[in-house]
Structure 1
Amino acid sequence: MNQLIAIDDITQRIYTVREAKVMLDRDLAELYEVETKVLKRNVRRNIDRFPQDFMFELTPDEFQNLRSKIDTSSWGGTRYVPMAFTEHGVAMLSGILNSKKAIRVNIQIMRAFVQLRHLVIDHAELKRELEALRSQTEERFQVVFTVLDNLVSDENGLNKKIGFIDKK
């Protein structure tokens, strides 16, 4: 992996757990080209750098739920629940892994998180615009329906006979 990792490859490894965008230890270990146990050992040795909002271990239920959403054959037989790293936790990893590879990979991962953040912002803006369009359309259709209701109602005299009336 001498070349930079594609951002799309990274964004596919970002999951939402506990309403936070996270990457799992096994995915990060693969990107950094280290064993998962080495990554976890380094994190545990430097646990003060990883408060709960930087890194947390998944509960067995969260792990099972996540496994059901991901291709289960790639998970293998892990005995331990994975660690989940938020964007800040991933940034902290480059400091404890302390290699040029870790720094290059972290830069790409940070770019992926930024790209996801922009997508969320764009999505929120699009949603606001759709809501405005919906309310505007509902107001216009309400006028149309009111006119149609008036035309259909008997009060407007639509039941009068139409045509030539002989006034003898």
Structure 2
Amino acid sequence: MKRALKVASVLTWFNLIFWGLMTVFVLLAAPVMGLVALVGAVLLSAIPLNCYAALQLHKSIRRPEIRLSHQTPVGIRFIGFVSLFFGLTTVMDQLTNLQQPAKMLTLLKESISGMKGLEFMTVNTVRIVSVVGLVLGLAVVVNVILNFRLLRWYYLVHQSDAS
């Protein structure tokens, strides 16, 4: 379980920093983009919130004298499912992009045809962006699953201590 805790800690910190910054950038773009960006930022904030709750769990596992708040497991479970949904959606989307990068490139160029500077977009660029997106999505999915397992392990240990 120590290895799972170490991997989960690294992924949790990475996801907290990366997705927290992404949420801030979407919030900063909200005045320009409108209500859609604001709703997207609120939904996207599930990932950093889950990571914060997971850090509380990790602290409680490392130092057993620090008890876990009664709200933290609910946050890990409920917000974890929302984060898992975003992670799986990202993974599936990027896998689709990797299967048909030329089609994705034409769709992208059609949807943003008014913008200048898209000349650099090639099939290889779409592939690179898709691989990066796939890694980011997998980081969220693996992190959520590991934190679910750590929460279950935490409850099993504390349940056996109470008996």
**TM-score, normalization: structure 2?**
0.35
Name whichever structure is richer in strand by fraction: 1
TM-score (norm 1): 0.34
Q: Highest CA radius of gyration, 1 or 2?
A: 1
Name the structure where helix makes up a greater proportion of residues. Answer: 2
